[in-house]
Structures are given as C-alpha cells and as structure tokens.
Amino acid sequence: MIKAVIFDLDGTLVNSIEDLCNSANFALSKYGFPQHELAKYNYFVGHGMTNLIETVIPKESLNKENFQKVYDTFIEHYSSNYLVNTAAFDGILESLKTLKENGIALAVLSNKKDEFTQRIAKELFGDLFDVVLGKKEGCPLKPDPYSTLMVLNGLGVTAKECAFLGDSGVDMETAVNSGCLPVGVLWGLRTADELKNSGAKHLIHNPTEIAPFILGF
C-alpha cells in the first residue's frame, strides 16, 4: 500500500525550463559566451545548478574563474526571475489536493538549490507538502539515496510504502537506489525510453492520472 509520494520538482511538478534557460543564457552572454537554445536545456538540467553551469560554459573556457563568475551571475539573475514563467503543470494542483485529502503524505525532493526548491514549493503549492528538500551543502545529489532516506524519515514511512515520481532517469535511479516505487512521468523533459531504461516500473502520461494511480495501487 502506498502511503506517501515523493515528487521531483522541475519537469514533474512545475514547468521551469524557460526561467532556467533565460537565467543561464543571461549569465553566459554577460561574459561573451555563446547562449543555448531552449530545447538543449531539457538535457542540461537535472543534476543541480553547479552541473548546469559547468555544462553550458564552452569546454575550452571552463575553469574556476569563468565558472564562478557565470555561476554567481546566474544565481543572482535566477533569484529575481525564478517565477517569471515557471508554473505548475495543468492538473498537478488538483491531483496533490486529492492525494492529501485521502491521507497520502507528500514530499518534494530536488537537485535544485534548497532555497529555490523551498520558495517554489511554498509559492506555488502552499502547505500541501509535508517535507520539501533541495540541494544542501554536504548532501549528495540524486541519484544517491541519502536525501531520499532523509525525506522518508521525515514522512514517517518506509521506502516500500512510498512512490517516487519524476521525469528523468536520475529520478528513476534515485527511486531504485532508495527502494521506492519508481514512477516515470511523461509530461516533463525526458523520454519514456530513458525512464524505462533507468528503472521506471510504471509510466504516467498526464498529471490527472496521478491520484487514481496512487490511490488504486
């Protein structure tokens, strides 16, 4: 029986790719580096903001100095622009409310910096989530199970009682590594093949399918 659901944030709960793209491209252009088209960011994101900036800087220009100035500018710009275009996917809010009303514990776990994860979760979803956790210093990123186990402890459930919903291979690997049920969502940034190859046991095609799936599992 599923008693709790852990959700990835970007590409699962919210469509945030445009704001991430705009802030990264702003930082790149400030220092004369080429910008990237929006579609490429589907594969640049997912491994945390440090990795994002390391990826978008041209390899031949990637050094400590260039990384730091682009990263700092990106964070400064994103801090003021993280909700310009970012919004919950259609049907997500209703599904979360239905789960909550039926006694399902809810959590967010993201590789995005914790301060942004907390802000977005609070501003778009209020108090629906029992636990919200983003990337903190000293904590390994997904797919390491460390942060998932922290969330499970906060929810008071075992891994076998928890589904992990995400749109990327990293999310499915995280679920597998922690012992949660890996459920891939297909409205996000990655493909069904990536999700299945990374361990997804089930695929959901639309946010409106979340509550019926979890409550009927």
Domains of the chain in sequence order: 4-15+87-216 (3.40.50.1000), 17-81 (1.10.150)
The 3-class SS string of the chain reads CCCEEEECCECCCEECHHHHHHHHHHHHHHCCCCCCCHHHHHHHCCCCHHHHHHHHCCHHHCCHHHHHHHHHHHHHHHHHHCCCCCEECCCHHHHHHHHHHCCCEEEEEEEEEHHHHHHHHHHHHCCCCCEEEEECCCCCCCCCCHHHHHHHHHHCCCHHHEEEEECCHHHHHHHHHHCCEEEEECCCCCCHHHHHHCCCCEEECCHHHHHHHHHHC
Q: What is the pLDDT of residue 150?
A: 96
159-199 pLDDT per residue, tens: 999 999 999 999 999 999 999 999 999 999 999 999 999 99
Mean pLDDT for the stretch of residues 56-60: 97
Is 90 exceeded by the pLDDT of residue 217?
A: no
pLDDT band at 88 (very low <50, low <70, confident <90, very high): very high
Average of per-residue pLDDT values in the chain: 97
What pTM did the predictor assign? Answer: 0.95
